[in-house]
């Protein structure tokens, strides 16, 4: 299976290392032989028609260099050119998310589909901005489109609902979809410390961004909720349809009071017909959404199974490579390449 990696940041490098380390495993267990025939980012492209050798690939990924600095790379803005012209089965779009414009991922995915290449992405932006358009383009081009890694990191919730719970109607989705806010709320409860102090600590530990608004004001959760809603409820939802409140006003006293009453306070994204909302909610301890630390969790309400929840780590390059690899194996099984 011939792959083009678009984006060579944490996720692209993490996937590269995983593919190299799992070479034997993938061949033996799945009959899958992935060949990375191109790596490309906004600085340049490295193309190798025979597949970049594993050892070289790992060294490049560990170097942390932009593509233009890799030996043998062509410099320049040649992402679209590379996607179009290099012979490949699958394009892995792994550039950073922009939930307002969807770019540059949106353009990359369209170019890939128009060049009759299957697409796997971890990028929320294009899905938040143009879910229906991309879904339709994939169908009209006859290509597969997978995005397990875009929501919940390692948690394959979309495929869980679509494949394993396929006999059910999904009636409602509720999720703790942002690890940073869950970490902050958990630490506030453990330390009795105020929001600002815990946020600062999280930033120092690299658990929160310098500009934390995307996480703590609920936009990241809302973006994931939009993707889940489009994927599983067959509702054409956009970010502007979500009523959003973040966690800035939560106090350690409120968390303590809730805990004394057998509850946890979580930033919950919830969606059903006519309602999309992100807000801090009380969740009874002992319920699957009451997970602590940086865990994510999603609960699906279903007509037969009633409720199924799935929990795991929502971020991290290795964890996310689990979902990307799951999608790759699925394409391998579907396409036979």
How far is 137 from 7, CA to CA, in rounded Å? Answer: 22
Q: Which residues, other chains included, contact 261 with Cβ-Cβ below 8 Å and sequence gap of 6+? A: none
Shortest distance in whole angstroms from residue 11 CB to its own copies: 13
The 164-193 site mask, x for binding its own copies (CB under 8 A), equals xxxxxx----------------x-------
Of positions 36, 67, 216, 264, contacts its own copies by CB under 8 A: 264
In the annotation, is 28 catalytic? no
Tell me the site size for its own copies, rule CB under 8 A: 53
Q: Is 288 in the site for its own copies (CB under 8 A)?
A: yes
Q: Is 38 within 8 Å of 49 (Cβ atoms)?
A: no
Span interacting with its own copies, options 36-44, 156-164, 218-226, 238-246, rule CB under 8 A? 156-164
Evaluate the CA torsion angle 10, 11, 12, 17 in order and state its sign.
Answer: positive
Q: Is 251 within 8 Å of 191 (Cβ atoms)?
A: no
Q: Is 37 within 8 Å of 89 (Cβ atoms)?
A: no
**Number of residues that this document lists for the chain:** 337
Of positions 47, 130, 160, 315, contacts its own copies by CB under 8 A: 160
Which of 110, 117, 124, 224 is the catalytic position? 224
Q: Is 319 in the site for its own copies (CB under 8 A)?
A: yes
73 vs 331 by CB, closer to its own copies? 331
Q: Is 219 in the site for its own copies (CB under 8 A)?
A: no
Element (H or E) spanning 183, and its range?
A: helix 179-191
Q: How many CA atoms lie within 13 A of 257 on its CB side?
A: 6
Q: Is 17 in the site for its own copies (CB under 8 A)?
A: no
Q: Is 155 in the site for its own copies (CB under 8 A)?
A: yes
Q: Is 82 in the site for its own copies (CB under 8 A)?
A: no
Distances (CA, A) of 168 to 4, 164, 269, 307: 35, 9, 21, 11
* Site residues (CB under 8 A) for its own copies, limited to 294-313: 295, 297, 302, 304-313
Judged by phi (left if over 0) then psi (alpha if -120 to 50, else beta), residue 251 lies in: beta
Of positions 69, 139, 163, 243, contacts its own copies by CB under 8 A: 163
Q: Bridge partners of 297?
A: 176, 311
Q: Which residues bind its own copies (CB under 8 A)?
A: 18, 22, 25-26, 29-30, 148, 154-156, 159-160, 163-169, 186, 264, 284-288, 290-293, 295, 297, 302, 304-313, 318-319, 321-323, 325-326, 328-330
Catalytic residues: 224
């Amino acid at each position: 299976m011939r792959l083009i990696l678009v984006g060579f940041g944490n996720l692209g490098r993490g996937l590269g290392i995983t593919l190299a380390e799992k070479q034997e495993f993938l061949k033996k267990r799945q009959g899958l032989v992935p060949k990375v025939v191109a790596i490309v980012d906004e600085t340049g492209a490295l193309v190798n028609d025979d597949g970049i050798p594993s050892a070289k690939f790992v060294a490049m990924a560990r170097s942390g260099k932009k593509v233009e600095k890799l030996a043998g790379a062509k410099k320049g803005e040649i992402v679209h050119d590379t996607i179009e012209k290099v012979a490949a089965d699958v394009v892995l779009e792994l550039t950073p998310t922009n939930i307002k414009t969807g770019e540059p991922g949106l353009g990359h995915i369209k170019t890939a589909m128009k060049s009759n290449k299957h697409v796997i992405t971890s990028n929320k932006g294009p899905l938040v901005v143009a879910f229906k358009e991309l879904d339709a383009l994939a169908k009209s081009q006859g290509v597969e489109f997978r995005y397990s890694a875009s929501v919940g990191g390692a948690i394959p919730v979309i495929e869980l609902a679509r494949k394993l719970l396929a006999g059910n109607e999904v009636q409602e989705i509720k999720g703790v979809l942002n690890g940073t806010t869950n970490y902050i709320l958990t630490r506030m409860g453990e330390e009795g410390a105020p929001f600002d102090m815990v946020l600062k600590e999280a930033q120092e530990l690299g658990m929160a961004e310098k500009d934390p608004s995307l996480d703590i004001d609920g936009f990241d959760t809302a973006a994931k909720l939009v993707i889940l809603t489009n994927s599983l409820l067959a509702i054409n939802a956009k970010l502007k349809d979500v009523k959003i409140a973040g966690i800035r006003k939560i106090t350690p006293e409120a968390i303590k009071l809730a805990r004394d009453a057998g509850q946890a306070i979580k930033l919950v994204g919830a969606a059903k017909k006519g309602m999309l909302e992100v807000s801090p909610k009380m969740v009874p301890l002992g319920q699957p959404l009451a997970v602590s630390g940086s865990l994510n969790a999603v609960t699906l309400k279903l007509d037969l199974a009633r409720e199924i929840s799935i929990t795991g780590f929502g971020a991290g390059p290795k964890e996310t490579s689990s979902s990307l690899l799951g999608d790759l194996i699925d394409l391998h099984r579907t396409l036979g390449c």
